[in-house]
Amino acid sequence: MANRLQSRLCNSTVFKRQSMRLIRIQWYLSGFAVLLIGTLATFAMTKAQEAGDEPFYRLRDQQSEYLGPGREVKPPSDVTEVLIGYFGPEDPKDPETGGMWRAATAVVDQANRDGGYHGKPFRLVAAWADNPWTAGVSLLVQQVYRDHVWAIIGGIDGETTHLAEQVVAKARLPLISPVATDKTSNLANVPWIFSVAPGDHLLAPPLAIEIARHADRGGLIVLSADDHDSRRLAIEVLAALRDQEIAPRYRYVVRRGEQDHGELVERVTAADPDSVLVIADAQDSATLVRSLRTAGCTSRIYGGPAMGRHSFIDQAGRDADGVIFPQLFMPSADRHPDFDYAAAHTHDAVQMLIDAIREAGLNRAAIGDALREMSPIQGITGEIRWDGLGSNTRPVQLAVWRDGKPISLDTTSKPQSARSLPAVAHHLVRTASPAVALARDGQALQPVVVGTDASEPVRQAATDLAELLGRISGASFEVIQGDGRKGLAVGIAADFPDLTLDLDFSSDPLERQRYRLRSHHDGVWLIGASERAAEYAVWDLLHRLGYRLFFPTDTWEVVPQQSDLQVALDVLEQPDFITRQAPRGAPWSDRALWNRWRTRNRMTSAFSLSTGHAYGGIIRANAEAFRNNPDFYALVDGERRMAGRVDGGGDIKFCISHPGLRQLVVQHAIRLVTANPQQDSISMDPSDGGHWCQCDACDRMGSVSDQAVTLANDVAEAINGLELGPKYVGIYAYNQHSPPPSIPVHPNVVVSVATSFIRGGYTIEQLIEGWADQGAVLGVREYHDVFPWSHDMPRRARGGDLAYLSRTIPHFFEHGARYMNSENSDSWGANGLGYWLSPILLWDVNAADRVEHYVEDFLELAFESAKPPMADFYHLLNQDRSTRTPEDVVGRMYRSLSDARELASSPQVHARLDDLVLYTRYVECYHDYRAAKGEARQAAFETLWRLVYRMRDRMMVSTVAICDRDRFRDRSVSVPDAAAWNVPEGENPWKSSQPFDRTELERMVREGMDANPIMQMDFQPVEFSDRLAPASRLDLPVVPRGTLSLRGRGTRRYLVWLQQPGSIELRVTGGLIAHYRDRGNVKLRLYSPAEATLEPVAQDESVPPDGQQYSVSLRSPYDGWHTLEVSDGSDMTELVLPEDMPLTVRSSIDDPPGNALAGRWTLYFYVPRGTRIVGGFTDQTNGRMRAADDSVVLDFAAMERPGYFHVPVPDGQDGRLWKIEQATGQRLLMTVPPYLARNGQQLLLPQEVIEAGVLPRFPSRNAKP
């Protein structure tokens, strides 16, 4: 899959820290690190200080100056023509891009007629291929480094502009993007990259305002394509619509290039919306518009800027009449009538570049300066004025097609500023709804109303609403029966037959979760398509009034106090994910508390998807049939495995090829659905584990996945023939049936792709795409926190990783997933913030762009005046991923809590802090226990056990897992029989429910800070480039060969060297752990920094996991250093490389070696001349460091704990090889080049170290302060 830049800048601000230490800012462009200048960081802090009360500045408001090398380079004297790169096709007849090429060449031709550059002609050089990601960008690289173009125009859209961006970022070559509107093209803040077309963030607001102006009861439907530019524009438009309190009734994602939209268009037309928004490229937009008009759709149609292209109007014809779109260029009879906006912006881009070259001369850095200083300038497209990121800030106007001509839309509306977002994401539709008072001066003004025939769930939701409104306002709200004309009407549409609701609630079971919140003069409607949806409406309204239940216990409930309550709203809501069981609690969790929390955070679902392992239940329900038919059981190693066993236990599999077995399962499913016709789905997921049938007939059916899908398809077909409405079958793509099938999947089979326990060597993306290609409706089976993996420690689980959640949930949705369930534990201490955010993201995936807002909401409401230190606390737990020792993490947690306790004023905040003090104490006790040996370990485990039991009611940790179920799976400790979990308190010496008093909690914090010092780095890190070369040029002495095992598991990366383009010959043995040999072939990939696409220059997946050695050749078209990556399914792989090949492991704080340092190792590193201190970080206390004279300069075993180390360099020991011997774990080098090798001949080092032989400029830079 093509690499795409994914860059987010929250609110486009850089926040000022209270400590004024130097900050480093790095942006990563799909793996290439573009290191911005330290001056930018200093400048950011200076501007923040000057801002007074505003402790930040916005990057778009201030240009970043490039202060690096380049301007001193003299212009070449042998230039005969001035080359300008063009990243796009050079075919003037191409229907999409021909106009751009014609415009570019026209400007160049005119410039040459005007004398060129001091008499030398300009020449446009195109780089393009049918696949721009490989051959095309390789040609672009050749232009930069071989042809020496002076700047680049390109690409032809946002996606290809990102490719060009990756090339020029490292080459320091000016790039002008003529047509990309994707605002992320400039978010890397590279000072020599410019975008002429206004960005999506400027296109979206006027479009949203126009849609809002005409919003009525019919609502909006969005059709967006799945290509890069359409996705980026959709994100901005949906955000702008939220600012206008507008949300789509439906949003459909269509595939790029798809021609047949019949079924989709029928649904849209039948829904009769006020407006349809089409976001796609020119050709897809034309196809969709024509299809909609042909189907009789009379709605207003809006679109993106692609509707201003010639190719759109050429294909859409008269069907384009009335379509409204952002017009980026308005041609006229006397002003380039043959240009569309793409051609016009290309014209301006090339003209600006030629003017810049004439102004600056032949110097790339100076050309970039000249381009920046031109702003503002008037082009044929209008004013071009750069913001701080190099984007054009020109306001955008709308146009409408009339009789084949674009006409400016008469509107003076300007984009409105973003409103303050609520703490729960909303898809909003706004009409003119009056404000209605709910309470005044502590007196209720509205009753809560239910229908006469309201169901019990609806009545309970109404009761909850009345109770919470009372707690908020101090008023007494009563629940009465009525017709809903007055009061707060809670229920479904059928509960209020006398109301004219004008609501389109579909009977489709997948759309039961829609609801309407609408105020009117006499009250508010809280009406849902189902009982569950009415429940959502209640909690939505309460959230808008400030109510929160952050974590499950009462301690984490926030009830605002406000005697006057008033609302004015008209909201139509529906979640993005149909099921949202993430998190969902563990089997031992307090179900009442979990269910309350799930209800109040809109996690429950009106649609029930069953996906649990089903084969055991089928056997139990049909025991007699299975007893009489042993051939129903899987044939394994020549025997019908577990034949006759009917208790459903074990990983029993079926002989799915057996017609009788399939018929029995189908009849079983029919009985289940017939007995419970309201049931939405049944599961047909296989039992856990392996042991699939090996008979010839099953083998002929295909893969294990094919067999599981065949049975699920049979069941889906049967239960949907019962005329009981649509019914669904749930299965997982998991374990041996995780690989995609080769047969189609029934449209009513929902396949939830597991993100762990994957077989066949597939990535998650490959599984999702593979199952989707067979027609599967997709879900995701996540593992947000599995106790045996995390032990409820902070900074370990996915569920607490905010970056992971905000990245993956929208990603899964974008690829078609609409269901999610997750495994997790009661780890609210470690993951509570992530758990609370998950339902917000699952309800509205666009909330991922506003995660920082929700974090602020949580900190502000949960901790009030204690917010500042708690912001540090949760940043450490949920966002910081820097390398830290356990003591450092615990010490920081205690210190944040200590500061927060000083600032907190309310009992509620103190209670929450108490919970977190106890969680921090758990983390401390856990590390004490893990570090102890023998009797001390048993004693530490008992201390931990007692603590966890006493704090069990707080749900900070998984008490049952720790004390009973799992016990860390540590056989070196035990629980006495008298202290067993089932022995009640009073008889159990380890159990106590004694409350924690304030004195005890204060002592925990005080002693915890004393026992867990913060890591102090008493040296200054030194940065080195990644331009590597063999250290052999340093004439290093021959030393005894070190040890580095090339046998390991998982993903490992090594640095190797090719003297010239050619092949690396390897011998590879995979599957050294026999029982893991079902996880796919060994994956070998070779990367070169010279390959601008970031794709491997060579790869191989031919080596099977069978324990046999194979020869593999990986060929690279480049010389120099490469990264060799080996990946397996953790079944262990061994590599053998040529003895004379340089082989180095990178071991830096930013790029730890990970699995590359397996077992015990002895390796060398180089200490450059002038180095005063060897400083770094260790995660283990074993091994020794020796200087070049073989003296021991550091015994890691003598360190009190893992952490930072620093070693003074003795006289005469710099400029030489040092050694770390008999070590395990990681040693991250921070003041010397972070590269380890078995000897000097195999060592790769930064070129500047080799060239100079000393540290550049600052020989005492890393001296101890």
15 pLDDT band (50/70/90 cuts)? Answer: very low
Q: In 10 A of CB 575, how many CB atoms?
A: 23
Backbone dihedral angles phi then psi of residue 363, each to the nearest 5 degrees = -145, 115
What pLDDT digit, counting tens, does each position of 1022-1041 carry? 988 888 999 988 989 999 99
pLDDT of residue 688: 87
Better-scored residue on pLDDT, 262 or 946: 946
Name the CA radius of gyration of the chain, rounded. 33
Q: What percent of the chain has pLDDT over 90?
A: 61
At residue 82 the predicted structure's pLDDT band, cuts being 50, 70 and 90, is very high
Q: What is the pLDDT of residue 108?
A: 94
Q: Which residues contact 956 (CB under 8 A, 6 or more apart)?
A: 826, 827, 828, 829, 915, 916, 918, 919, 922
Looking at residue 425, what is its pLDDT? 31
Give yes or no for a contact between 963 and 981, defined as CB atoms under 8 angstroms apart: yes
Paired tokens of 970: 């540590």
CA atoms within 13 A on the CB side of 780: 29
Q: How far apart are CA 961 and CA 172, in angstroms?
A: 55
Q: List, in sequence order, every beta strand (DSSP E) within 304-433.
A: 324-327, 377-379, 382-384, 397-402, 405-408
The confidence score (pLDDT) of residue 828 equals 98
pLDDT, mean over the chain = 87
Separation of alpha carbons 979 and 853, rounded Å: 46
pLDDT at 21 > cutoff 70: no
The answer on pLDDT for 543 being more than 60 is: yes
The predicted structure's pLDDT at residue 38: 37
Least confident of 177-186, 437-446, 865-874, 999-1008: 177-186
- Phi, psi at 66, each rounded to 5°: -90, 120
Q: Is the pLDDT of residue 410 over 60?
A: no
Average pLDDT value for residue range 318-322: 90
Please, which pLDDT band fits residue 418 given cuts at 50, 70 and 90? Answer: very low
pLDDT band at 334 (very low <50, low <70, confident <90, very high): low
Statement: residue 86 has pLDDT above 90? yes
pLDDT at 1145 over 80: yes
pLDDT score at 67: 56
Is omega for the bond preceding 886 within 30 degrees of 0, making it cis? no
With a cut of 70, say whether residue 1045 has pLDDT above it: yes
The tens digit of pLDDT for each residue in 1074-1085 reads: 888 888 899 999
Higher pLDDT, 434 or 900: 900
Six-digit token string for 127: 């780089």
Q: Which residue has the tokens 């002003």?
A: 335
For the ranges 48-62, 231-245, 936-950, the maximum mean pLDDT occurs at: 936-950
User: Which residues on adjacent β-strands are paired with residue 819?
Assistant: 579, 779
More confident residue, 297 or 52: 297
Does the structure show a pLDDT above 60 at 380?
Answer: yes
Q: What is the pLDDT of residue 30?
A: 32
The larger pLDDT score, comparing residue 1258 to residue 809, is at 809
Q: Using CA atoms, how far apart are residues 59 and 618, in angstroms rounded to an integer?
A: 61
Q: How far is Cα 791 from Cα 953, in angstroms, rounded to an integer? A: 18
Which pLDDT score is estimated for 420?
25
SS3 sequence of 309-339: CHHHHHHHHHHHCCCEEEECCCCECCECCCC
Helix (H, G, I), strand (E, B) or coil at 208: helix
Question: Backbone dihedral region of 442: left (phi > 0), alpha (psi from -120 to 50 degrees) or beta?
Answer: left
Candidate from 101-110, 250-259, 428-437 with smallest mean pLDDT:
428-437
DSSP-assigned beta bridge partners for residue 578? none
Q: What does the pLDDT read at residue 502?
A: 66
* pLDDT > 70? residue 107: yes
- For residue 580, pLDDT over 50 is answered with yes
What number of CA atoms fall less than 13 Å from residue 422's CA on the CB side? 21
Structure confidence at residue 771 (pLDDT)? 94
Cα separation, 1103 vs 1110, in Å, equals 7
Contacts of 865 (CB under 8 A, 6+ apart): 903, 904, 905, 909
Strand arrangement of the beta sheet that strand 1203-1208 belongs to: 1203-1208, 1173-1178, 1227-1229
pLDDT at 598 over 80: yes
Q: Is the peptide bond before 1210 cis (omega within 30 degrees of 0)?
A: no
Answer whether the bond into residue 304 is a cis peptide, omega within 30°: no
Position 853 pLDDT exceeds 60: yes
Residue 170's nearest CA partner among 29, 348, 314 is 29
Torsion of CA 1232, 1236, 1238, 1243, to 10 degrees: -70
Nearest in space to 235 (alpha carbons), one of 204, 190, 195, 277: 204
Query: Among candidates 306, 301, 298, which has minimal Cα distance to 322?
Result: 301
Structure-token match 């044939």, residue found: 635
Q: How far apart are CA 14 and CA 6, in angstroms?
A: 18
Q: How many whole angstroms from its chain centre is CA 904?
A: 34
Alpha-carbon distance of 1145 to 1238, in angstroms, equals 10
When pLDDT is cut at 50, 70 and 90, the band that residue 1263 belongs to is very low
